[in-house]
Amino acid sequence: MAVTSWYKKVQEGGALTVTAGSAFKGGHWTSVLDGAISTFNKLMTENGVKLALSKAGDAKNAHIVVEAAGTKAGFSYAGTSYSATFDGNGLHGSTTPVADGRGFFEKAFVFVPATPRVSPTDKRSREAGPEVRRFILVHEFIHAAGLSNDEHTNDDVFCYPGQIDGGSRAADDRIEPWGGLGKPMPPYTLIAKTVTNLKKAWP
């Protein structure tokens, strides 16, 4: 995969709408969505990328549908069905775009873990705090903007893998690039490589 653009009318408009799907519920997630959109938009503005997200529409009409998933992530849309196993206790999301007949994105489904945990393999560990969730959403919005796993970095919010820097309280939990290659976020950062790739999708 490489950088992919949205279909022309959307690309020229520089705007994508985001809506919460029916499984995206619970205060831990719903309370961070607006903040994640603001953080994403600030990163785009600061780096001169012609894209802004706004919360609007319903699952049928929005460009990006955000869902929280437990053991399975799936959707049906315009004749496309998708289903995959998913780790609802994990610390990263998954974005599946749907392309039109010419290969341009026309819809994107973002899945986030329903119960991200500070120790994903320990179901008794507590759920991760709001900054961890914001990180997960901002990262997936970059995928929804057109970047694939091939464009991952080592050291910004588009890093893979990230690792948790767990606090004594959920409010202090952070995600940071793996191996000390970057700093815990916030502040959220984009390196030049990610900005260049975003500008390819949003020229």
Tell me how many residues contact Zn ion (CB under 5 A): 1
Amino acid letter for position 92: H
Residue 135 tokens read as 């990180």
Residue 95 Cβ vs Zn ion, minimum distance, rounded to whole Å:
8
Give whichever of 138 and 169 is closer to Zn ion, judged by the CB atom. 138
Q: Which stretch binds Zn ion (CB under 5 A): 10-18, 47-55, 156-164, 184-192?
A: 156-164
CA 55, 12, 47, 185 dihedral sign is: positive
Output 107 or 139, the one with its CB closest to Zn ion.
139
- Sole window of 29-37, 52-60, 157-165, 176-184 interacting with Zn ion (rule: CB under 5 A): 157-165
Buried b (16+ CB within 10 A) or exposed e, 47-73: bebbbebeeeeebeebbbbbbbbeeeb
Q: Find the residue with minimal CB distance to Zn ion.
A: 160
Q: Which stretch binds Zn ion (CB under 5 A): 70-78, 120-128, 159-167, 168-176?
A: 159-167
Q: Name the residue type at position 102.
A: R
For residue 177, cis peptide bond before it (omega within 30 degrees of 0): no
Residue type, 177: P
CA–CA separation, 194 vs 24, rounded Å?
27
By CB under 5 A, which span of 75-83, 111-119, 155-163, 167-175 interacts with Zn ion?
A: 155-163
Compare residues 32 and 91 and give the one whose CB is closer to Zn ion: 91
Q: 82-111: which residues touch Zn ion (CB under 5 A)?
A: none
In the complex with Zn ion, the residue whose CB is nearer, 163 or 167, is 163
**Contacts of 100 by beta carbon, 8 Å cutoff, 6+ apart:** 7, 106
Identify which of residues 82 and 160 has a Cβ nearer to Zn ion in the complex: 160
List of residues contacting Zn ion (CB under 5 A):
160
